[in-house]
Chains A and B, each alone.
Chain A
């Protein structure tokens, strides 16, 4: 069953209230929607293992006299991209009743989002991620800033770049616009370190970013966590 989803910029808030009004829909008869296949590991040409589709039929689901899914949309995955709060609005334009063999096709939706205890503005500056966020959210006004843009900082107003190895309060205490995390090999091996330093220097001087570089081993030594994903 198809899904249409959009990421929407929202202000910092306790919760999001979603209203969906259906402005137009049609019903089609004699439709039997193909069941969602199971993905099973299979050895493909060359010996690699890949997930392949395998036909699967849920008899109980196909004997249920009700529309699936039961709603036409929802708001999920409330989160943030840096300072920008976001929510994902998911729409289900096709609903299927397997007993009656009909589908309801919803074609025009009007969506209204309101917020419980909103705080601050709806669009937050996300630095070099402006363009990324502007292209990802349907209602974010990007200022055009991205990692390829010189912020006009130049050498007159360059950021700093430094290595950090201590993380009091489990955090980088310096101002940090741009974080580089590397294996200690690239710190100890001078030939490699030159390139990392060079990248950091470029970001500081070209973009005006404050750049902090850290070694993974220092993160592991300083911060509690069960795996690298949690540590980082």
Chain B
């Protein structure tokens, strides 16, 4: 019985880790979404900065699926249709 309980616990923990979304921080920030800052915008030049604080990573088997909150992905239908 103890053997089965341990096995069940191990499978449960493995399944949890398989769907866990991890935050991978690129740079220290209070936000998890990209932040932009327009420095100059006139009739001849537009200059702005973009800070990407990090990505969300989800392990799937041997792969990692990565995403940025509130932004799209290359394989999204919307982005493919725009190209």
Contacts and interface: CB of A to CB of B under 8 A. Distances in A.
B46 A107 contact: no
A11 B74 CA distance: 28
B52 A107 contact: yes
Interface of A, helix, strand, loop or mixed by DSSP: strand
B39 to A, nearest CB: 8
Contacts, number: 129
Q: Which among B42, B43, B46, B52 has the greatest number of chain A C-beta atoms within 10 A? A: B46
Interface in A111-143: 111-115, 118, 120-122, 138-139
Contacts of A2: 55, 66-68, 71-74
A31 interface: yes
Contacts of A23: 49
Is the interface on chain A under 10, 10 to 19, 20 to 34, or 35 or more residues? 35 or more
Q: Report, nearest first, the 10 A-B pairs whose CB atoms are least far apart.
A: A36-B75, A107-B26, A34-B63, A139-B41, A2-B68, A34-B65, A113-B46, A107-B27, A93-B52, A109-B50
Interface of A: 1-6, 8-11, 23-24, 26, 28, 31-37, 39, 51, 69, 76-77, 91, 93-94, 103, 105-115, 118, 120-122, 138-139
